[in-house]
A and B are shown apart, each in its own frame.
Chain A
Amino acid sequence: MSEKSNKFVIAVYVENKYGVLTRVTSMFTRRGFNIDSLTVGVTESPEYSRITITMSGDGYARAQMINQLRKLFNVKKVELLEDVDAIERELVLVKIKNNPDNHQRVLSALDIFKAKIINYSVEALCIEVTGTPDKIDALIEMIKPLGIIELCRTGIVALQKGGGSIMESEDVN
């Protein structure tokens, strides 16, 4: 992610309970935050879910977002993942028109991006790519002229580099 875009990634550990995701997203609406992507899933400990949020904003928005998240009662950990310290990945599924004229161009694009064909039919083929959000953007740009039927991005998941864990950071409440 470029610095210009002002994007940042926040990892949040929340209690894996009824209504917690709503609580988090309701706060965004209330405070006027617009998020770019949000992913959520279970973690190494079943009592927690990990939410990864990508949003844009200046230092003020960043600080407010983190502080307001920390105030929520089911939120246990909040960590800002700085670009240099974080590994970010996203997965995309793209359904492309299966057109004999396109074939060679599709295959070379798949090769460049190390994409896999995961479903093949007469009308369409479905590919899967994993990578940084920039790589996904570039792939989509490249295959757009070939006829995308639909696509689905997971949103970003991210971990900090090295041996550390968000669980080692201070509890918020």
Chain B
Amino acid sequence: MKLTGAQIVVETLIEQGVTDVFGYPGGQVLNLYDAIYEAGDRINHILTAHEQGAAHAADGYSRATGKVGVVIATSGPGATNLVTGIATAMLDSVPMVAITGNVPQDLIGRDSFQEIDITGITLPITKHNYFIHDVNKLADKIREAFRIAKSGRPGPVLIDIPKDIQTAVGEYEPRPVDPPFPQREPSRARIAEAAALIDSRSRPFIHIGGGVIGSQTEELVLELADKIDAVIGCSLMGLSAIPTDHPRFLGMQGMHGHYASSVASNDADLIIAIGTRFSDRATGNKAKFAQRAKIIHIDADFAEISKNITANVGVCGDISVALREIIDAVHEANHMDWMDHVEDLRDREAGFTVDEPGVLTPLKVMNTINKYKTAYTPVATDVGQHQMWAAQYIKFQRPRKMISSGGLGTMGFGMGAAIGAAVGTGEHTVLVTGDGSFGMNLNELCTAVTYRVPLTIVLINNGVLGMVRQWQTLFFNHHYADTNLERKTDFVKLADAFGARGVVAKTPEEFEEAFERSMRSDGVTLIDCRIDKDEFVLPMLPPGGAIDDIITVKKGE
């Protein structure tokens, strides 16, 4: 059938199974928005306050549901406002399709009003991108974009559509959704080598990343761990893949990882890394990382094998196939000494957690969240100390519940991401944020209120940029350069002005009461939690440090 380019975009999105899109209209997407208006009963558009919020919302939607997130913006500033959101999705391998309008092709290259080369700008931060020249190829390019976004190691894809393509009439026929591109078969030889290596070692540690959630191989990881008697640790991106209370799970490793997890990975004689890139935040000093261990690295992306940490055996391809074959090839094992050692580490770790009674501390906030959230509650975070406290203390029971910017570390990610997660899952969502991060994109409060998004914002308000300040305390002689905020923001009035509910919590009791009430409501509540500015995130592996440098107690107190 004959449709305009704008209608082809909307029909192809619907054909690809898209039900919700996030975006912001503008001059060069007027036609596209007209087509969305006409298809209003078949596709739900959520208008944010800012395109960055829309990009993070599409990202959070995808992380929480596993579907491809979709964001739409106009040309020029609309497109450039997506950049941080696209880069965030790229660094965390989140499948996303960003659609931008551009000026008509006869105005391209003339520095026209709101013209920008967004395909050029996003080259290094997209998995792939397109500039559409021909309306008759538009539907196929969108289909390919979705396919690329979700295949193998997922990532964001941008499609730039000039206005004349949106108005032109082209041919469109609906088509069934293509399956993801087939992944390469893991090499038989590598599988055999991996299995032999596993059988020869006695202190196995499985290190998982976001790739385990993406490939839905959480159960296989547990099956492997059970069969070879291994413990499991994860990167920030791997959080929520394995239930926090699972006896084999030691938690996050690395710079602010759990003590037992970081130390066990250092003491292991075998590390099986799955769907992870050995980020510097997870490994510390690479030259000193797990020196006694042989490394097996399993990943969908062949370029990750031996990129950051040299692998003794690299298995690339479909993670689920690789794990299934390795599990079938290895022998069952029991490593009593190793398990005893890990238990000792856990006992030591338990001794580090000190919590002052009666004072509202980050630990008490997270424990209260654990008490009232369900296994299905998505927990989004921003970036900073609060993010690490959430990563350390929030208990997860199901995958896709930790929504956090790991690779790019994007302050301001949380509001949009939480809205996207809530829209995607229909679940009352918790956003753990800080006063610094929240200040970056708090404008999205209006979006949450307008769309009646069930959301509880737990604002860890310490009046400082706590993470940077912690580094200044430790490494810059207490020179608090621009980290003491001294702002006069009244968050209760702010929430009120946006049409949300605001509450101050100064004690554990006040927080519990406010949080419990908020989780029962369908509205948007902001809880302003007053936290001491000198709270530290511990343990801490100093930058460039190895496991022996780990800081477990705050000095000079």
A interface, CB within 8 angstroms of B: 18-19, 22-23, 26-27, 29-30, 60, 63-64, 67-68, 70-71, 73, 173
Q: How many A-B residue pairs have CB under 8 A?
A: 28
Per-residue interface assignment for chain B, residues 351 to 365, with 1 indicating a CB less than 8 Å from any chain A CB and 0 otherwise: 000000000000000
Chain B, interface size: which category?
10 to 19
Determine the residue in chain A with the shortest Cβ distance to B306: A63
CB proximity to A under 8 Å, residues B292-313: 301-303, 306-307
Verify if B120 is at the interface (C-beta below 8 Å from A): yes
B interface, CB within 8 angstroms of A: 119-120, 123-124, 127-128, 131, 133, 148, 181, 301-303, 306-307
In the bound complex, how far is the Cα of B126 from the Cα of A27, in angstroms? 11
CB distance from A73 to the nearest CB of B (A): 5
User: Which of A26, A60, A71 lies in contact with B301, CB distance below 8 A?
Assistant: A71
User: Which of B120, B131, B148, B303 lies in contact with A73, CB distance below 8 A?
Assistant: B148
User: Which of A63, A68, A70, A73 lies in contact with B128, CB distance below 8 A?
Assistant: A73
Which of B120, B131, B302: most chain A Cβ within 10 A? Answer: B302
Cβ–Cβ contact B123 & A26, under 8 A:
yes
CB distance from B121 to the nearest CB of A (A): 10
CB distance from B132 to the nearest CB of A (A): 11
Which of A18, A67, A70, A173: most chain B Cβ within 10 A? Answer: A67
Determine the residue in chain B with the shortest Cβ distance to A26: B123
> 7 tightest CB-CB pairs across the interface, nearest first?
A67-B303, A30-B124, A26-B123, A73-B128, A68-B303, A71-B303, A26-B124
User: Which of A22, A71, A173 lies in contact with B123, CB distance below 8 A?
Assistant: A22
In the bound complex, how far is the Cα of B108 from the Cα of A19, in angstroms? 15
Known A18-B133, A26-B124; contact A70-B303, beta-carbon cutoff 8 A: yes
Contacts of A18 in B (CB 8 A): 131, 133
Cβ–Cβ contact A70 & B302, under 8 A:
yes
Determine the residue in chain B with the shortest Cβ distance to A67: B303
CB distance from A66 to the nearest CB of B (A): 9
Cβ–Cβ contact B119 & A19, under 8 A:
yes
Interchain residue pairs with CB less than 8 A apart (24)? A18-B131, A18-B133, A19-B119, A19-B131, A23-B123, A26-B123, A26-B124, A27-B124, A29-B124, A30-B124, A60-B306, A63-B306, A64-B303, A64-B307, A67-B302, A67-B303, A67-B307, A68-B303, A70-B303, A71-B301, A71-B303, A73-B128, A73-B148, A173-B181
Known A73-B128, A73-B148, A173-B181; contact A22-B302, beta-carbon cutoff 8 A: no
Which of A19, A26, A30, A64: most chain B Cβ within 10 A? Answer: A19
Contacts of A64 in B (CB 8 A): 303, 307
In the bound complex, how far is the Cα of B306 from the Cα of A25, in angstroms? 23
Contacts of B127 in A (CB 8 A): 73
Contacts of B131 in A (CB 8 A): 18-19
In the bound complex, how far is the Cα of B304 from the Cα of A70, in angstroms? 12
Contacts of A73 in B (CB 8 A): 127-128, 148
CB distance from B475 to the nearest CB of A (A): 26
CB distance from A7 to the nearest CB of B (A): 22
In the bound complex, how far is the Cα of B127 from the Cα of A73, in angstroms? 8
Cβ–Cβ contact A22 & B301, under 8 A:
no
In the bound complex, how far is the Cα of B301 from the Cα of A30, in angstroms? 17
In the bound complex, how far is the Cα of B303 from the Cα of A30, in angstroms? 14
Contacts of B124 in A (CB 8 A): 26-27, 29-30
Determine the residue in chain A with the shortest Cβ distance to B316: A67
Contacts of B181 in A (CB 8 A): 173
Determine the residue in chain B with the shortest Cβ distance to A23: B123
CB distance from B299 to the nearest CB of A (A): 11
Determine the residue in chain A with the shortest Cβ distance to B128: A73
Determine the residue in chain A with the shortest Cβ distance to B124: A30
In the bound complex, how far is the Cα of B373 from the Cα of A101, in angstroms? 91
In the bound complex, how far is the Cα of B302 from the Cα of A67, in angstroms? 7
Contacts of B133 in A (CB 8 A): 18
Contacts of B306 in A (CB 8 A): 60, 63
